[in-house]
């Protein structure tokens, strides 16, 4: 990486932390300048607009998510073990950013707002759901899950579980959230065992 790329990555790392705490709408070039100790004009040269800052931060989040969740899961053996690794990696993702899962924050901000941010966020979430479904299809092919397993239904249920976990940890400050999430995951997997 060049020095310019290293600088931009560091800026986007900080922008992602801010967005996880105050949302993408709360992310501003001024706030980012203060946190990175850079000039507003210097940051403006990187992004040109608040929307570009938001979009590039969301794309940076996608790369972090792939590195933190998807790649480690793909290193696990095919089948149920990979599905389990995916869930465990997602639990770690919840801890990567100071404010928790940035996709939860963004979904609240953009679910009813048409535009580039909503489109990008929706695309990222569809990729996540397809990653889950693909790993479940592999678990079916490996004989770990029943042949009549609906991979898209499994993806829906796992995604719903992760969203619930986020709320119980972040909003409700529930000390039992992790235990409950793991118990729910075990029940989900048991429903589909062959």
Range 47-72 average pLDDT: 94
Cα within 13 Å of Cα(98), Cβ side: 10
Residue 182 lies in a domain: yes
What is the three-class DSSP state of 22?
helix
∠ at Cα 190 (160, 161), nearest 5°?
A: 10
pLDDT digits 0-9 by tens, 131-171: 999 999 999 999 999 999 999 999 999 999 999 999 999 99
Number of helices followed by number of strands (H, E) in the chain: 10, 0
Range 63-70 average pLDDT: 96
Residue 32 lies in a domain: no
Residues contacting residue 149 through CB under 8 Å, at least 6 positions apart: 136, 139, 140, 192
b/e burial code for range 81-98 (CB count within 10 A of at least 16 → b) = ebbbbbbbbbbebbebbe
pLDDT value of residue 4: 67
| CATH, residue 164 | 1.10.357.10
Bridge partners, residue 193, by sequence: 145
Residue 33 lies in a domain: no
pLDDT value of residue 194: 82
Residue 126 lies in a domain: yes
Residue 130 lies in a domain: yes
pTM: 0.92
* pLDDT higher than threshold 70 for residue 1: no
Contact present, 93 and 100 (Cβ < 8 Å): no
Q: How far is CA 53 from the centre of its chain?
A: 18
Residue 15 lies in a domain: no
Residue 16 lies in a domain: no
Report the number of distinct structural domains present in the chain. 1
Residue 187 lies in a domain: yes
Residues contacting residue 192 through CB under 8 Å, at least 6 positions apart: 136, 139, 145, 146, 149, 154
Please give the residue range of the domain that contains residue 174.
Answer: 58-192
Contact present, 181 and 93 (Cβ < 8 Å): no
Tell which phi-psi region holds residue 143, choosing left (phi > 0), alpha (psi between -120 and 50) or beta.
left
């Amino acid at each position: 990486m060049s020095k310019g790329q290293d600088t931009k990555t560091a800026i986007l790392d900080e922008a992602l932390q801010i967005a996880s705490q105050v949302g993408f709408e709360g992310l501003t070039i001024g706030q980012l300048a203060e946190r990175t100790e850079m000039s507003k004009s210097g940051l403006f040269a990187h992004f040109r607009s608040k929307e570009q800052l938001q979009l590039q931060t969301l794309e940076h989040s996608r790369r972090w998510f792939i590195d933190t969740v998807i790649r480690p899961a793909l290193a696990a053996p095919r089948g149920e073990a990979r599905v389990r690794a995916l869930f465990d990696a997602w639990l770690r993702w919840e801890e990567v950013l100071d404010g928790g899962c940035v996709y939860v924050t963004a979904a609240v901000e953009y679910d009813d707002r048409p535009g580039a941010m909503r489109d990008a966020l929706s695309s990222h979430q569809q990729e996540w759901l397809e990653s889950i479904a693909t790993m479940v299809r592999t678990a079916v092919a490996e004989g770990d899950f029943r042949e009549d397993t609906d991979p898209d239904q499994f993806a829906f249920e796992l995604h719903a579980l992760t969203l619930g976990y986020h709320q119980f940890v972040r909003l409700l400050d529930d000390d039992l959230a992790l235990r409950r999430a793991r118990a729910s995951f075990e029940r989900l997997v048991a429903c589909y065992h062959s």
